[in-house]
Amino acid sequence: MAIFAKPVRGLLWAVCIAASAVRAETPGLPQATIDPARIILLDIQRVGSQLFSAGERGWILRSTDDGGHWQAIRTPADRTLTGLAFADERLGIAVGHGATLLRTTDGGQQWTAIPVEDIGHDSLLGVTHLGGQHFVAYGAFGHYLESLDGGSSWSRKTVLNEDFDRHIAKVLKAGPDLFLFGESGTLLRSRDLGQNWEALQSPYEGSFFGGLQTPSGALLAFGMRGNLYRSSDQGQSWQLIPLSVKVAVQGGQVLSDGRIALVGNAGLLALSQDDGRSFSLSKAAHGGLSQIVAVADGALAVGETGVQYLSLTKTTAN
């Protein structure tokens, strides 16, 4: 089950971030001080020139200078937030534990809780924007929700069949198709944006925590104990990519120069320069990392110890 924490830190970035706590400034609510190096954060996303990160106790952090300074935004949630997705620079969705669904229409300054009837209290572990006003949110025990109106309303959808109850860690849009990565080696594909799903032959019985599409259009699936697989035929077959580590891989991103960066537990950073066919490794940070985003001279990762700066040049051959 992909419930995890991650870290952040490095050189001047680390010093600046750790030295200055962030004051929350949500109108009408008491101010609070948040240290971005002392809060568990589970996702970070770039939205135009801004960065947003979500984490424990319903907090969302926002930066307009690539992580040099952070504004803490108090949301209506008091549970851990696990994922963020934006349609544009104003409309965004955040999800989290206790079936938390939040929506912003002003670029993340204020967030509104969206009630969903009969949703229960199972954790939502991620959210994906599929284009236009179309979002999907997903999580524990096969929980899968769809919104066609920018997150104003949501309906629960069946995945695969009525008995499907695997934890869903990631839904990835790759071209016209959706790929679903989850618990117990779950790999699914949809050709119609999630209305119908087919099970793919999985190369692995352990849990997948995420996936991404490489610059060439290949797929990567990653998860527990350093397991990483690559498919060049839209999920029909998978090749093991050895990482020589036994820690979970939690998140990843394709960088602007075409390299692929993966992060995981124990401060793991893995970089590929050949479209995901091989990776070089380093212990780049403290604690577990959940997601990474590129900045001007490196990257920021989030996790168990908040936001950390990562150098993308110091790795060792796998």
Q: What is the CATH number of the domain that holds 167?
A: 2.130.10.10
Domain extent, residue 55, equals 11-310
pLDDT exceeds cutoff 80 at 30 = no
CA distances from 239 to 144, 218, 250, 277 (A): 28, 11, 19, 9
| 186 domain-assigned | yes
pLDDT exceeds cutoff 80 at 17 = no
| 315 domain-assigned | no
Q: What is the CB neighbour count within 10 angstroms for residue 40?
A: 21
Chain center to CA of 277: 22
| 1 domain-assigned | no
Per-residue pLDDT tens digits for 274-304: 999 999 998 778 899 999 999 988 999 999 9
| 5 domain-assigned | no
pLDDT of residue 311: 87
| 46 domain-assigned | yes
| 304 domain-assigned | yes
- Report the mean per-residue pLDDT for the chain: 89
Q: What are phi and psi of 303, to 5 degrees?
A: 175, -140
| 2 domain-assigned | no
- Between 160 and 314, name the one with better pLDDT: 160
CB of 108 closer than 8 Å to CB of 47: yes
Per-residue pLDDT tens digits for 72-95: 999 999 999 999 999 999 999 999
As a dihedral over the C-alpha atoms of residue 66, residue 70, residue 72, residue 75, rounded to 10 degrees, the angle is: 0
Whole-number percent of the chain with pLDDT over 90? 81
Per-residue pLDDT tens digits for 89-118: 999 999 999 999 999 999 999 999 999 988
* Spatial distance between the Cα atoms of 155 and 145, rounded to a whole number of angstroms: 5
Q: Count of domains in the chain?
A: 1
pLDDT-derived band at 42 (thresholds 50, 70, 90) equals very high
| 146 domain-assigned | yes
